[in-house]
């Protein structure tokens, strides 16, 4: 009988050790979500699409400049015989840098060169009006 009881003890020890190993593997949380490569691609697309759309929206609208027109008409000055833009700039803004004044006058009047003709009417930028 002692042989039978020994084998029963050995068998019960084997069953217990298998159960403890099974319990140890069950203690770890198993992942129920299995992602395939296609599933990852779909999930990435779903997450990335709104972000790309938002980035494009703000990127395109970021550099927008709005044109405004002043409601007050600009004053004009008539170029006299022998007068240059440099002289006009000195006359309009004696304390300002003449190069800046000339650039502003050329911009307002859409001039391509600094040559002006006698009798030509030039619009004066608002900051140089008296």
Q: Which of 40-44, 48-52, 55-59, 72-76 is predicted with the least confidence, judged by mean pLDDT?
A: 72-76
β-pair partners for 123: 76
Name the percent of the chain lying above pLDDT 90.
Answer: 33
Q: Are 85 and 76 in contact (CB under 8 A)?
A: no
Going from the N-terminus, what domains does the chain have, and what CATH number goes with each? 76-128 (3.10.350)
pLDDT tens profile 5-51: 555 555 555 555 555 555 555 556 666 778 899 999 999 999 999 99
pLDDT tens profile 81-92: 999 999 999 998
- Distance between first and last Cα of the chain: 125
Structure confidence at residue 75 (pLDDT) = 85
Q: What is the pTM of this model?
A: 0.45
- Tally of CB atoms within 10 A around 102: 19
Q: Reduced to 3 DSSP states, what percent helix, strand and coil does the chain have, rounded to the nearest 5?
A: 60, 5, 40
């Amino acid at each position: 009988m002692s042989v039978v009881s020994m084998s029963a003890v050995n068998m019960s020890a084997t069953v217990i050790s298998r159960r403890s190993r099974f319990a140890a593997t069950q203690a770890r949380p198993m992942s129920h979500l299995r992602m395939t490569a296609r599933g990852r691609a779909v999930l990435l697309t779903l997450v990335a699409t709104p972000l790309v759309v938002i980035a494009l929206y703000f990127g395109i609208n970021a550099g927008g400049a709005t044109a405004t027109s002043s409601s007050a008409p600009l004053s004009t000055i008539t170029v006299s015989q022998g007068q240059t833009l440099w002289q006009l700039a000195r006359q309009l803004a004696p304390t300002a840098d003449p190069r800046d004044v000339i650039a502003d006058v050329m911009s307002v009047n859409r001039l391509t060169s600094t040559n002006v003709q006698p009798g030509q009417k030039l619009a004066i930028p608002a900051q140089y009006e008296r």
